[in-house]
Chains A and B, each alone.
Chain A
Amino acid sequence: MDQLSALEDQSIYIFREAFNRLDKLAMLWSIGKDSNVMLWLARKAFFGHVPFPVVHVDTHHKIPEMIEFRDRMAKEWKLDLVLGENRAALDAGMGPARGRITCCTALKTEGLKSVIGENGFTAVFAGIRRDEDGTRAKERVFSPRTENAEWDFRDQPPEFWDQFKTTFPPGTSLRVHPILHWTELDVWRYIRRENIPLVDLYFSKNGRRYRSLGCAPCTASIESTASTVDEIIAELERSNTSERAGRAQDKVSEDAFERLRAGGYM
């Protein structure tokens, strides 16, 4: 079996375990390439169906093309789309000018916590990958969060032989990571193999493209001429820089991303 099929089979196994063992599931959909691949894998696992709501936390700072894409695909794929936001913070004018970490925490982390709370979700699928960042490398596939959505990376449950921790004290919420074991290149190769639709922003226009998508003020495009999936794969095979290099909130301090994640960020 080739690498991509092996990755796909493992992800499907994780989806099906979560779907069987956990109640009140939802999937986080950031509209980025990883969450599109994750959504695609869910449809593989459940034979064309997505049997749980798909949650998008809207910071109202997203790049407009992303919202257009979200609404188009949700209709086409018959998704049960649930939108979340931190209304209070938005009304109070929250934005990156108040500090990038503050903004990320308010609009994304708090927005996520409130949509989880309002809908009573006990577990959410998140499309993070180990190769993105040192702190994500430490993640478990089934990763518990405390009542305050905090992540205790120092004391994580053992996880082996594909036996995941599926029972928790009341109040725990769970993140499930179906593509944790994929790399950025794996994701692109799978997009090519399966012909998965993506936001146009990933493809080069006028010598620039986005490698990672977030909010407009904090996501920088990179210099690139890659305008097709094949060209992006070729570019990545030569590249030596990090994928999140264009994400400003990670760079506020050396451990900024880790602090964001310990507080409940994806």
Chain B
Amino acid sequence: MNAISPQRLSSQRRLPIVIVGHVDHGKSTLVGRLLNDTGSLPEGKVEAMREMSRRRGMPFEWSFVMDALQAERDQGITIDTTQVRFQTATRPYVIIDAPGHKEFLKNMVTGAASADAALLVIDVTEGALEQSRRHAYLLHLLGVRQVAVVINKMDMCDFSEARYHDVAKGILGYLEEIGVRPSAVVPISARHGNNIVTRCKHMDWYSGPTVAEALDNFLPPKSLTDQPLRFPIQDIYKFDERRIIAGRIESGALAVGDTLTFSPGGRTAKIVTIESWNEPEARTQAVAGQSVGITLDQQIFIERGHIAARAEARPIETHSIRVNLFWLGHEPLVVGRSYILKLGTAEHDVTVQAVERVIDVEDLSGRGGDRVERNGVGEVVLHSRSTLVVDDFGDFSRTGRAVLVDGYDVVGGCIIQKPKTDEMPAHNLIATAHTLTAEERSISNGHQGGILWLTGLSGSGKSTLAMGLERELFRKGVQICALDGDAVRQGLNVDLGFSPEHRSENIRRVAQVARLFAESGMIVVTAFISPTRADRAIAREIGGSFFHEVHVAADLDTCETRDAKGLYKKARTGLIPEFTGVSAPYEAPVNPELVLDTGKISAEGSLADLARYTELALIRPARRGSKTKAV
């Protein structure tokens, strides 16, 4: 292990690795042994620890090594990600320790996300338990693609080849299903140092690499310079006469003279300089991983969160993404709730549109639902009113991932799936239009504008339904507003009475207002008796394609029995003249878009029917519409 000079080693990049697995499967023991067997511990350290164990009257454990190195033996604070360095003959490593305890998933994620490779430790006597699987699944989500499995405690099963194959088969099957192909499955005994650095004579049936060899076989991370350019803007500086666009090149390369296209929007400009300080000569090009600053030949409107790329290979612009997500929040992720999505340097308000699958990491089965619980994983659709600039994680690891923030806290991480072919976003459609179109509004809102015109007798439940729908859809992030007869008559139509002419004028004005709201992208739900076919025909004419007539069809007896406002009683005694259903006719719709018989169906049931209709008529078409347009 000493064939290489320490000097050369330490100037090499340390490969960060993470060791994961179920609690008590031997991670700390493996680390202690790795440090010792690679000759990475200070001289006398192990002797001192053996002596200390003897004094305390407890058997020496290799796991003490790491605890001691971190000076945390007595403080009991081994719960967090710590970093331990060691080196093999080939290169230096830093181990990011990942605790096995379930509650400490956020620390495991913090550690594992910065690792280039992972060792998954499994106790041969227990096999892969729930935590082993959860960790493996998270490695996959975090983008750690290089994994070696270590099957520990082989001494406990008499170094049985059959037992090894049994456990190996189980975990290999699981890993294959999540798309992880381990580079090795090493049978070891960490406690006795078998197959850590030196081969074990009890396991001559095994011809694969030792743990040290498996580590040395891992590849350093691939440079992202050969990929298409992704240069997210981090900030724009005007400290002096220069206007410097600062950011880190996440993939690809750029050079002075290159033309960049910025997303969203598609504005273009040419790079004039690559700025730097205290460098012998001016930079003319820069590559992935570098934090740079550039100046452009034009003062275009760009800001933090925009991404520069080349015109022929731009990122995707969309309002809705499907992601694989892990959730760390104390509160579950719930459909309809909003979070902040941090996507590179951009931040967006997003609403959870759907939880498509909640994944059981044990058997990888998926089930539907409306929430992902703490420490859970799932497949979720997020919608944003602002334009998201994203990549498929499979192609671009850096710009294809994001975190979710709830209040002050980071509560989850997600990787972005490739949009399905029939969901390709309407790419450049938006940038060129000069005025906002209904289509642009509906793409951003995630639904179309529309008018749900509720008509029916007094007491049929129109207002209750309108308010209920407003509340339910508002929760899902829908732009919705209810227009109620009483409210309108106290404001906009305060000058109108109840004569037939005034009633017609009342309806006409309400229809006009509803149309304006609908055109601005909102869903308007109106609650007016609107008793005559003629008046509703005018409303339909004004509403045009936005108009949906909903007959709230409780019969007169039902409404009169309810008589919540006491109006029927007054009408019967003649206190209210021309009261619909009593002293004035109600003309039921001939061909309404929807009939809700609130006399027979409960209020909740009718609300559910109305919500379902709205979903089908106004929400789903917008989602399809936003995705079927070709680029």
Instruction: Answer whether residue B401 sits at the interface, using C-beta atoms and an 8 A cutoff.
Output: yes
CA distance A167 to B291 in the complex (A): 24
B408 touches A169 (CB 8 A): yes
Interface footprint category on B = 35 or more
Q: Which residues of A contact B14 (CB under 8 A)?
A: 3
Chain B residues with CB below 8 A from A161, complex form: 113, 401, 403, 413
Whether the pair A163, B81 counts as a contact (CB closer than 8 A) is: no
Is the beta-carbon distance between B82 and A158 smaller than 8 angstroms?
A: no
Give Cα distance in the complex from A128 to B590, angstroms: 77
Kindly state the separation between the CA atoms of A1 and B220 in the bound complex, as whole angstroms. Answer: 12
CA distance A47 to B246 in the complex (A): 10
Taking CB atoms, residues of chain B closer than 8 Å to A43 are: 277-278
Which chain A residues border B6 with CB–CB below 8 Å?
A: 237-238
Q: For residues 180 through 217 of chain A, which have their beta carbon under 8 Å from a beta carbon of chain B?
A: 185, 189, 194
Residue of A nearest to B236 (CB): A20
CA distance A48 to B277 in the complex (A): 6
- B198 at interface, CB cutoff 8 A: no
Within 8 A of B (CB), among A141-181: 153-154, 156-161, 163, 165, 167-169
Which residues of chain A are near B545, meaning CB under 8 Å? none
User: Are B401 and A47 within 8 A (Cβ)?
Assistant: no
B629 interface residue, CB < 8 Å from A? Answer: no
Kindly state whether residue A71 has any CB partner on chain B within 8 Å.
no
- A237 to chain B: which residues have CB within 8 Å? 6-7, 10
Proximity string of chain A (15-49) to chain B, C-beta cutoff 8 Å, 1 when within and 0 when not: 01101100000000000000000001001111111
In the complex, what's the smallest C-beta–C-beta distance from A231 to chain B, in angstroms? Answer: 14
Contact A165 B410 (CB under 8 A): yes
A130-150 contact mask (Cβ, 8 Å, vs B): 1 or 0? 110111011010000000000
**Digit string of A111-138 for contact with B (CB within 8 Å is 1, else 0)?**
0000000000000000000110111011
A69 interface residue per 8 A CB criterion = no
**Does B244 interact with chain A (Cβ within 8 Å)?**
yes
Contact of A134 among B72, B113, B290 (CB under 8 A): B72
Which B residues lie within 8 Å of A138 (CB)? 77, 80-82
Q: Given A158-B328, A163-B403, are A16 and B291 also a contact pair (CB < 8 Å)?
A: yes
Q: In the complex the two chains form, is B74's CB within 8 Å of A255's CB? A: yes
* A211-234 vs B, Cβ < 8 Å mask (1 yes, 0 no): 000000000000000000000000
The answer to whether B203 has its CB under 8 Å from any CB of chain A is no
Having A6-B13, A10-B291, A158-B110, one finds 15 other A-B pairs with CB under 8 Å, namely: A1-B223, A1-B287, A1-B290, A3-B12, A13-B291, A16-B246, A46-B237, A48-B278, A131-B83, A138-B77, A140-B110, A157-B410, A159-B410, A160-B109, A240-B43
Q: Which of B273-297 contact A (CB under 8 A)?
A: 275-278, 287, 289-291, 293
A100 to chain B, nearest CB (A): 18
Q: How far is the CA of A120 from the CA of B246 in the complex (A)?
A: 27
Contacts A13-B248, A160-B114, A194-B278 known; A46 to B290 CB distance under 8 Å? no
Determine if B77 and A45 form an interchain contact, defined as CB atoms under 8 angstroms apart. no
From A8, A40, A159, name the one whose CB has the most chain B CB atoms within 10 angstroms: A159
Does B71 lie within 8 Å of A254, measured CB to CB? Answer: yes
Pull 12 A–B residue pairs with CB atoms less than 8 Å apart, ordered by A: A1-B290, A20-B235, A44-B276, A47-B276, A138-B82, A154-B77, A158-B107, A160-B114, A163-B402, A165-B410, A167-B405, A254-B71
Q: Which residues of B contact A133 (CB under 8 A)?
A: 71
Flag if A160 contacts B80 (CB, 8 Å): no
